[in-house]
């Protein structure tokens, strides 16, 4: 079964994963964990797929703004919409995550969840990354896809716990990660059940319901899963509390952080504000979390390499 | 496998269940549904276990009020607490669900989720029903337990979708229904991740986060599961929208309502305000949902009978 991790170079990180899984799956060992409690949680952006130069969902949002602009003439002068329409994405994102949330609310609402899922699926089937020139669904980290499969082959239940929109991620998570919709936890908009021409629909409202980041992640894990995970995987300070919560549990646990160190095959940005990784790296040292150096530990990053 | 439904009398209801399952599981049939989409949702109170004369969780709340009363002297004169302390449960519940929510918030907060789970488990292991004189965990409907197992044996994933508190239900759902914590959807309080003496904890706050009833149920199903179920089971008008949403889906679906018609073996109350069943019954007739008459369709109600 270790053959499942073929894109991992031999080294400390791979060995730590193999050792951890062996410990929790060896029957009669004191470290044994029954399958029902083998819960593993994964951040998405920057942990399972690219997030540079911007989150995949941000590119989706920009395309939605351009598409919906004719119906919203005021966007031509109203920020952050105006900057998006002028192609100045840096200016559009100047206000940080609050600008992104505003853009999401304006472009992801006023339709049913079924309709939104279809729009997201269509976009994901055709949209490509600005510099890597590949479908976003090809820009998933092959070693992490193998790790997801390896954990599941060892009786784990794998969950995504990400700041991304839950319905956006659900539009591709099963296809690219093998994670079904009910195991995707993300940020969400308010929704409302209503009758439309006698048919029940669930409408998306332009209002944030839950933002799944930082201290929100462990609270969401308890809320949605109801169990403390035994393994957590992230890549930024947004994952710090999720890793703390997971690795403070009783028994064997695994915390792992992915560092973006490979400017040739992907992007080297782990010391920049994007996907900021400072506090979690300090804590990783104290708590003996595994730190994956993408350049050193991954034999390949994408399946097509 | 039909032998799993031994507590069901032969009749229309049992046959409808068998027919539905055969249709969605027969390979190559046009009605076939792949296992990943075999989602079944169950209300809890009155559908899977007793809710008469009051919700099980209400009795838990009353015991919590009595236990915490010494620390809250003002409760002696403050409603709805005073009525609980005077043993007048009818007066305590006079304000309806808002009174219950107030009692829940006052008695289920100020502790970690782990601590709350332990308190609920301890209570469920000892508390007994006022008239039936059995542990509440014995007062689960045996035919429904068999139905849960039968559906799972046929590749279904079974979820609870109930107005009860999610952490209260999780304290027993795996034991009594075989439903793991991550498949329990309920009402919830706000929570907060924090550090306590250097250890991460998730604290319960005295504030309602989500009330899972009526139109909230289908919205919650989409939010938590991300798929439309193909089978839904309820017993009151609180389940109407969940049944509408489920049975309006494409392909074969099953909607089923349990009627409390058996005053000898359980309680006959389906025409009373408790667990009110009016609109859903009208709709059941139009939509050809299965209506289970507990007296007629269930050979036994509880496992001990």
- pLDDT at residue B271 greater than cutoff 80: no
- CB burial of residue B1 (10 Å; 0-12, 13-18, 19+): exposed
Q: How far is A248 from chain B (nearest CA, A)?
A: 7
- C-alpha distances in Å from residue A219, one per residue of A216, B163, B207, B214: 5, 20, 15, 25
> Is A118 in the B-facing interface, judged by CB distances under 8 Å?
no
Please judge whether A166 and B225 are an interchain contact, meaning their C-beta atoms are less than 8 angstroms apart.
no
Counted across chains A and B, CB pairs separated by less than 8 A come out at: 87
Provide the 3-class DSSP secondary structure of residue A53.
Answer: coil
Q: How far is B199 from chain A (nearest CA, A)?
A: 7
Q: Nearest-CA neighbor of B64 among B162, B204, B260?
A: B204
Please judge whether B193 and A200 are an interchain contact, meaning their C-beta atoms are less than 8 angstroms apart.
no
| Residue length of chain A | 305
The whole-number pLDDT of residue A214 equals 96
Q: So what's the ipTM on this one?
A: 0.96
Please judge whether A219 and B191 are an interchain contact, meaning their C-beta atoms are less than 8 angstroms apart.
yes
pLDDT confidence band for B97 (50 / 70 / 90): confident
Per the structure block, which two tokens stand in for B17?
């269940």
Please judge whether B219 and A245 are an interchain contact, meaning their C-beta atoms are less than 8 angstroms apart.
no
Nearest by CB to B227, which of A181, A217, A227? A181
Contacts of B194 in chain A (CB under 8 A): 215
Cβ contact A162:A236 at 8 Å? no
Nearest by CB to B184, which of A202, A226, A248? A226
Please judge whether B219 and A194 are an interchain contact, meaning their C-beta atoms are less than 8 angstroms apart.
no
What are the residues facing B257 on neighbouring strands?
B234, B291
Please judge whether B199 and A166 are an interchain contact, meaning their C-beta atoms are less than 8 angstroms apart.
no
Q: Report the C-alpha gap between B184 and B196 in whole angstroms.
A: 28
The whole-number pLDDT of residue B27 equals 96
Please judge whether B182 and A226 are an interchain contact, meaning their C-beta atoms are less than 8 angstroms apart.
yes
Percent of chain A with pLDDT over 90: 93
Q: Quick: pLDDT tens for B123-171.
A: 999 999 999 999 999 999 999 999 999 999 999 999 999 999 999 999 9
The whole-number pLDDT of residue B254 equals 98
Strand positions, DSSP E, A146-289:
157-165, 184-196, 199-210, 231-234, 254-259
What are the residues facing A234 on neighbouring strands?
A257
Q: How far is A31 from chain B (nearest CA, A)?
A: 21
Cβ contact B218:B193 at 8 Å? no
Terminal Cα-to-Cα distance of chain A (whole angstroms): 23
Contacts of B222 in chain A (CB under 8 A): 113, 191, 202
Q: How far is A208 from chain B (nearest CA, A)?
A: 13
Cβ contact B208:B182 at 8 Å? no
Please judge whether A224 and B182 are an interchain contact, meaning their C-beta atoms are less than 8 angstroms apart.
yes
The 10 Å Cβ neighbour count of residue A286 is 7
Please judge whether B226 and A166 are an interchain contact, meaning their C-beta atoms are less than 8 angstroms apart.
yes
CB proximity under 8 Å: A 47-106 to B: none
In a mutagenesis test of the A interface, which of B111, B184, B222 is the best target, namely the one with the most A β-carbons within 10 Å? B222
Please judge whether B226 and A202 are an interchain contact, meaning their C-beta atoms are less than 8 angstroms apart.
no
- Give the chain A residue whose CA is nearest to the CA of B113: A222
- pLDDT at residue B296 greater than cutoff 60: yes
Cβ contact A105:A64 at 8 Å? no
> Is A219 in the B-facing interface, judged by CB distances under 8 Å?
yes
Nearest by CB to B181, which of A181, A217, A226? A226
Q: Report the C-alpha gap between A290 and A256 in whole angstroms.
A: 5
> Is A299 in the B-facing interface, judged by CB distances under 8 Å?
no
> Is B38 in the A-facing interface, judged by CB distances under 8 Å?
no
Mean pLDDT of chain A: 96
- Residue B25 zone, left/alpha/beta (φ > 0; ψ -120 to 50; rest): alpha
> Is B247 in the A-facing interface, judged by CB distances under 8 Å?
no
Contacts of A227 in chain B (CB under 8 A): 181-182
Contacts of A184 in chain B (CB under 8 A): 226
- Specify the residue for token string 């789970």: B117
Order of strands, edge to edge, in the sheet holding A254-259?
Answer: A199-210, A184-196, A157-165, A39-42, A231-234, A254-259, A290-293
Please judge whether B226 and A184 are an interchain contact, meaning their C-beta atoms are less than 8 angstroms apart.
yes
Contacts of B178 in chain A (CB under 8 A): none
> Is A202 in the B-facing interface, judged by CB distances under 8 Å?
yes
Nearest by CB to A227, which of B157, B181, B209? B181
- Give the chain A residue whose CA is nearest to the CA of B200: A245
Q: Report the C-alpha gap between B147 and B169 in whole angstroms.
A: 19
> Is B170 in the A-facing interface, judged by CB distances under 8 Å?
yes
φ, ψ (nearest 5 deg) of residue B112: -80, 165
Q: How far is B173 from chain A (nearest CA, A)?
A: 12
Domains of chain A, first to last = 2-54+140-297 (3.40.50.1000), 56-124 (no CATH)
The DSSP letter of residue A201 is E
The whole-number pLDDT of residue B1 equals 58
Mean pLDDT of chain B: 96
In a mutagenesis test of the B interface, which of A121, A178, A180, A182 is the best target, namely the one with the most B β-carbons within 10 Å? A182
The 10 Å Cβ neighbour count of residue A71 is 7
Stretches in chain A below the pLDDT threshold 70: 1-2
> Is B127 in the A-facing interface, judged by CB distances under 8 Å?
no
Q: How far is B14 from chain A (nearest CA, A)?
A: 27
Tell me which H or E stretch contains B159. strand B157-165
Query: What Rg, from alpha-carbon coordinates, does chain A have?
Result: 20
What is the four-CA torsion angle of A171, A174, A177, A179, rounded to 10 degrees? 110
- CB burial of residue A196 (10 Å; 0-12, 13-18, 19+): exposed
Q: Out of A103-107, B83-87, B233-237, B275-279, which region has the weakest mean confidence (pLDDT)?
A: B275-279
Helices (H), A164-289: 166-170, 173-177, 216-224, 240-247, 279-287
């Amino acid at each position: 079964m270790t053959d499942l991790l073929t894109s991992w170079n031999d080294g400390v990180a791979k060995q730590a994963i193999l050792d951890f899984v062996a410990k929790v799956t060896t029957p009669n060992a004191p470290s044994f964990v029954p399958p029902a409690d083998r819960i593993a949680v994964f951040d998405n952006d920057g942990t399972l797929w690219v997030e540079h130069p911007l989150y995949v969902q941000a590119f989706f949002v920009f395309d939605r703004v351009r598409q919906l602009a004719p119906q919203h003439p005021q966007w031509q002068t109203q920020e952050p919409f105006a900057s998006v329409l002028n192609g100045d994405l840096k200016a559009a994102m100047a206000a940080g995550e609050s600008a992104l949330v505003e853009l999401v609310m304006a472009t992801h609402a006023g339709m049913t969840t079924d309709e939104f899922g279809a729009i997201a699926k269509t976009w994901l089937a055709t949209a490509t990354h600005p510099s890597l020139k590949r479908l976003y669904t090809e820009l998933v980290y092959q070693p992490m896809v193998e790790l997801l499969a390896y954990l599941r082959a060892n009786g784990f239940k794998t969950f995504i716990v990400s700041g991304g929109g839950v319905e956006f991620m659900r539009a591709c998570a099963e296809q690219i990660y093998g994670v079904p919709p009910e195991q995707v936890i993300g940020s969400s908009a308010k929704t409302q059940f209503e009758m439309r021409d006698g048919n029940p629909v669930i409408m998306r409202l332009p209002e944030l319901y839950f933002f799944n980041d930082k201290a929100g992640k462990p609270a969401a894990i308890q809320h949605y899963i109801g169990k403390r995970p035994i393994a957590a995987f992230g890549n930024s300070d947004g994952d710090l509390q999720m890793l703390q919560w997971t690795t403070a549990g009783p028994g064997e646990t695994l915390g792992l952080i992915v560092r973006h160190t490979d400017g040739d095959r992907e992007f080297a940005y782990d010391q920049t504000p994007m996907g900021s990784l400072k506090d979690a790296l300090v804590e990783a040292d104290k708590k003996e979390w595994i730190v994956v150096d993408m350049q050193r530990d991954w034999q390949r990053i994408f399946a097509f390499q």
